[in-house]
Structure 1
């Protein structure tokens, strides 16, 4: 399996972790991240804030979220251009347990095909609609409700092609879009627990989150709660 690490070359604080990932991930290479704060890099992005699909997403896309979405699209395209059956896509604030990752990838390789998209999330919160396979305490599942974050995933060639075709225009962050399996036609699997961790707090903090006042936080949380309730009306089914 080949791996891609999404990293902005100007982010010097994250370079040490990228070097670690280059050692720990199989056949890894760095993919230059799209800088959503650079108007030239996102000039061709077609967007409709929150209104393309139902349920409508209650927040406008932030520049950093546009950059992250386009960075993942760049990796999906890399899988197609290289002719790989699968590609592991990691963000540069990921830390892995190499031994546990090896077990996880062996389980995926035994059961995955080019149609599959398998998340390896840092938080084991998803509940299964179906258990596909197990290796000791590690389970490959089809979750009822797809979790957030795209810090680590294995993407099959046909899944990458399908997702690229569905994202010529974007209206919400990439992880939120991937939850909409009834729109994309792309089932999303998960493998957990997997030993992965997020270490953004150790290497300069999040590149997406922004500061919001107390009143703004309350308003955002209310909108987010309502959106999640609507999302739960569309579980993945075994």
Structure 2
């Protein structure tokens, strides 16, 4: 069996039960992982909160302020991306600790190794296991398709990220204003195309309560309704063009 890729599991120090369950689930498939100590937003100082998160930029690019939990979540993923770059991994799997396995991940690893195209980010799960219309699908083998959705899937439960992808994401998100999965959807800004390997062999375990909510407190966040509608209009136009370009590039690689 081919050696598995590096796997980074994001886990808060405040969530030992999640670490225990995640470890047991991966151990069932003889999969090793390295833990990334998640950033607990609730304990961030005012200075730490604005190290990467920019409130003024948020006001311009998003329809509500980010919660402390969302900021911590974003910073946690940046730690994982930095680990990929620092260790010069060709690619690694980054997982959050609220997953469950519904297939043999070794088949996923083997399929990623045989992909005939260059890639930077591949979604391996979807937020709350939702579905989304598919714009393009390429059969990789008897089990998996490489998919481009009409809009990149939300959620960061599990994804494969290449060295070049991690570098690009770190550069594009040194200062951020939206949730991490929302920024990943903005492929025209990050310059990191988002694919999916389907069917997903990893699902989000919906029995877990949200760590983001727990790390954010109970303060109600005011949403800017018309700002949201305007941003959605602009993003729809930009996303349609970017998705078309991603598909064209992918098809050109597949013809070689």
Cα distance in 1 for partners of 2:103, 2:157 equals: 16
Change beyond 3 A, Cα 1:112–1:173: farther
Contact 1:22 1:29 (8 Å CA) reproduced: no
Contact 2:123 2:197 in 1 (8 A): yes
2:109 aligned residue: 105
- Residue of structure 2 equivalent to 1:75: 80
Give the Cα separation in 2 of the matches to 1:86 and 1:73: 15
Q: Counterpart in 1 of 2:144? A: 138
1:89 aligns with 2:94: yes
Distance 2:56 2:110 in 1: 38
1:38 aligns with 2:63: no
Aligned residue number for residue 9 of structure 1? 13
Equivalent pairs, count: 231
TM-score under structure 1 length normalisation: 0.83
Shift of 1:189: 0.6
SS in 2 for 1:190: strand
Q: CA deviation at 1:166?
A: 0.9
1:153 Cα offset (Å): 0.1
Q: Following the alignment from structure 1 to structure 2, what is the Cα–Cα distance between the partners of residues 136 and 64?
A: 40
Question: Which one of the candidate residues 163, 166, 177 is aligned to 1:157?
Answer: 163
Residue 198 (str. 1) matches residue 204 (str. 2)? yes
Unmatched tracts of structure 2, length 5 or more: 248-256
1:174 paired residue among 164, 175, 180: 180
Separation in structure 1 between the aligned mates of residue 125 and residue 39 of structure 2, nearest angstrom: 22
- Choose between structure 1 and 2: higher helix proportion: 2
Offset at residue 227 of structure 1 (A): 4.3
